Amino acid sequence: MILRNTIAGQVLLLLLYARHTFFSSAKTVASEQLSMALPEPRAYLPDAQNLDFVYHDHEELTRFLRATSARYPNLTALYSIGKSIQGRDLWVMVVSSSPYEHMVGKPDVKYVGNIHGNEPVGREMLLHLIQYFVSSYNTDQYVKWLLDNTRIHILPTMNPDGYAVSKEGTCDGGQGRYNARGFDLNRNFPDYFKQNNKRGQPETDAVKDWISKIQFVLSGSLHGGALVASYPYDNTPNSRICRSSALCAMFQTYSAAPSLTPDDDVFKHLSLVYARNHAKMSRGVACKSATPAFENGITNGAAWYPLTGGMQDYNYVWYGCMEITLEISCCKFPPAYELKKYWEDNQLSLIKFLAEAHRGVQGFVFDPAGMPIERASIKIKGRDVGFQTTKYGEFWRILLPGYYKAEVFAEGYAPREVEFVIVEQHPTLLNVTLQASKRVEGVGAGGPSYYRPMQAPQHYRPGGPPPYAAAASTENGIFSTISNGLNSLYSNIFG
């Protein structure tokens, strides 16, 4: 009261008020500047129409997939192919106008993300791809055509356990790369060139079982740590040069020689489709000064660095599925506020790549009564990796324009060779009828027997050792350990 009634007191009160106002205003400005510098607060709504650009943990990912499936029951179907070591579901979302069952003549394609747990950009891109497909079906004619004519299977995360221990903002290193038992899942598949003695993991076993049941035509595996589309082979037959010396094998492994498939022209084309539709990839700019630059944004896997037990080689060699590896971020686990830009960079590529399943030849293999022949083996002459028909007798093969011959085999039927032409605009429709084996009378002491056609060649199938892999036995000792260590170090740096 005394202060209020004196001039000095009033002056003091004015000074105190001014001081309070100044610091309050300064605090408000500082708070506003801080809020402007930081990303928007997270507001995740699992049933919201728009998916936010943040990293989603496994529970949030599961809620989003379930909510999307409930919201769009005519375009999506959700299923699990198995569980991780720590019990997390390996969810797959089918996006198609016929999501719950295979429609005859409609190819199956797939994307797999997050095989390395600390490379989650692909995981988020696949969630946004699902969201874009279902929300654009009625407004985007290209998306409508794609979903009407294709069944798209999307596995956003193959390694949810590794993701759970990864850290946002970590661009390099191996924390979270492996599964809960410390295995690199992209080194855990059977290999054509070298025996892979690594114990099979639940995640890779689930994927192997998955692709054995569905005849996938085309596939992409999303990674991080570089900016490039990499195509098979990932491994190399270095046993041709180094048959016994582990030291020789080690230096040959890191000589970065290309290892080309019989379908090298197709794999280069598929890689270029992704790279050229990407905002930056086709420029071939190196992520860092110490890392390689890739011409046109593509590379042969073994030419970059060889690896044993990779998923893309397994898809191709064992099942004829054309898979490439898509490295889509220089930083393995970039900050979440960059995700929107990654989506803008990759959206068109992700869509256009899948449409390539409709390039080449497709058709059916029938018996003389017009019934489909399941598991008929087909090989394009000059391309030794074969493929098989579905239970409906369907087949697909991505090929570039040109003149081809197909060799068709089936148990109990005479083999047949068919000529056809591929054009740029439309897939070639090719139906093949196989005749039953001819009967040969009076052969053998047991009475009549039947001519059995020559068995379909294995075409790099895993039934026996590959033609030049006998000498590629697993090397033991210190040099093998050094080689494996270098491979692991290179993988952790570059993806």
347 and 286 in a common domain? yes
Token reading at 391? 């239970």
378 and 253 in a common domain? no
Per-residue model confidence as pLDDT tens digits over 308-348: 999 999 999 999 999 999 999 999 999 999 999 999 999 99
295 and 182 in a common domain? yes
Token reading at 361? 């030849």
CA dihedral 418, 423, 424, 425 (to 10 degrees): -110
144, part of any domain: yes
227, part of any domain: yes
Q: Choose among 306, 315, 312: nearest CA to 241.
A: 306
349 and 261 in a common domain? yes
The residue with tokens 């009407």 is: 148
411 versus 4: the higher-pLDDT residue is: 411
Give CA–CA dist 70/64, Å, rounded: 10
431's CB contacts (< 8 A; 6+ apart) are 363, 364, 365, 366
State the maximum Cα–Cα separation within the chain, in Å, rounded to a whole number. 133
Token reading at 311? 């998923």
242 and 380 in a common domain? no
pLDDT, residue 288, reads 85
419, part of any domain: yes
348 and 371 in a common domain? no
Q: CA triplet 305, 311, 317: central angle to 5 degrees?
A: 100
Q: At what angle do helices 311-319 and 202-213 cross, to 10 degrees?
A: 30
Q: Summarize the confidence of residues 120-124 as an average pLDDT.
A: 98
The per-residue DSSP string of 45-87 comes to: -TT-SS--SS---HHHHHHHHHHHHHH-TTTEEEEEEEE-TTS
118 and 199 in a common domain? yes
25's CB contacts (< 8 A; 6+ apart) are none
CA atoms within 13 A on the CB side of 157: 32
pLDDT, residue 176, reads 96
* Number of domains forming the structure of the chain: 3
Residue 141 has a CB neighbour count (10 Å cut-off) of 10
Q: What own/partner pairs with CB < 8 Å and gap ≥ 24 does 87-91 have? A: 88/58, 88/160, 88/161, 88/164, 89/62, 90/155, 90/157, 90/158, 90/160, 90/203, 90/206, 90/207, 91/61, 91/62, 91/65, 91/155, 91/156, 91/157
Token reading at 386? 């074969």
351 and 371 in a common domain? no
Give CA–CA dist 357/270, Å, rounded: 10
Q: At 299, which CATH number?
A: 3.40.630.10
Q: Is the model's pLDDT at 471 over the cut of 90?
A: no
485 versus 68: the higher-pLDDT residue is: 68
Give CA–CA dist 232/302, Å, rounded: 8
Average pLDDT for the chain: 82
What confidence tier does 102 reach under pLDDT thresholds 50, 70, 90?
A: confident
- Amino acid of residue 137: Y
369 and 223 in a common domain? no
Cα–Cα separations (whole angstroms), residue 191 to 196, 235, 274, 322, 484: 6, 8, 26, 16, 16
The residue with tokens 């004196």 is: 6
Main-chain dihedrals φ then ψ at residue 184, nearest 5 degrees: -80, 115
Q: Is the model's pLDDT at 464 over the cut of 50?
A: no
352 and 237 in a common domain? yes
431 versus 244: the higher-pLDDT residue is: 431
Give CA–CA dist 18/347, Å, rounded: 54
Q: At 391, which CATH number?
A: 2.60.40.1120
49, part of any domain: no
Main-chain dihedrals φ then ψ at residue 262, nearest 5 degrees: -65, -20
Range of the domain at 402: 361-450
228 and 98 in a common domain? yes
43, part of any domain: no
b/e for 311-326, b at 16 or more Cβ within 10 A?
A: bbbbbbbbbbbbbbbb
Q: Which of 18-27, 420-429, 438-447 has the lowest mean pLDDT?
A: 18-27
**Catalytically annotated residue among 119, 124, 203, 327:** 327
405, part of any domain: yes
Pair 420, 428: CB distance under 8 Å:
yes
Pair 238, 268: CB distance under 8 Å:
no
Q: Is the model's pLDDT at 148 over the cut of 90?
A: yes
Q: Summarize the confidence of residues 14-26 as an average pLDDT.
A: 44
228 and 119 in a common domain? yes
Residue 327 annotated as catalytic: yes
Give CA–CA dist 323/327, Å, rounded: 13
Strands 377-380 and 298-300, bridge-based pairing: unpaired
Give CA–CA dist 229/265, Å, rounded: 14
CA atoms within 13 A on the CB side of 256: 6
302, part of any domain: yes
Per-residue model confidence as pLDDT tens digits over 47-90: 345 789 999 999 999 999 999 999 999 999 999 999 999 999 99
What confidence tier does 356 reach under pLDDT thresholds 50, 70, 90?
A: very high
Q: Is the model's pLDDT at 469 over the cut of 50?
A: no
35, part of any domain: no
Q: Summarize the confidence of residues 164-192 as an average pLDDT.
A: 96
Name the helix (H) or strand (E) containing 92.
strand 89-95
Per-residue model confidence as pLDDT tens digits over 246-297: 433 444 444 568 999 999 999 999 999 999 999 999 999 889 887 778 999 9
Give CA–CA dist 370/372, Å, rounded: 7
Give CA–CA dist 103/456, Å, rounded: 28
Q: CA triplet 367, 372, 377: central angle to 5 degrees?
A: 85
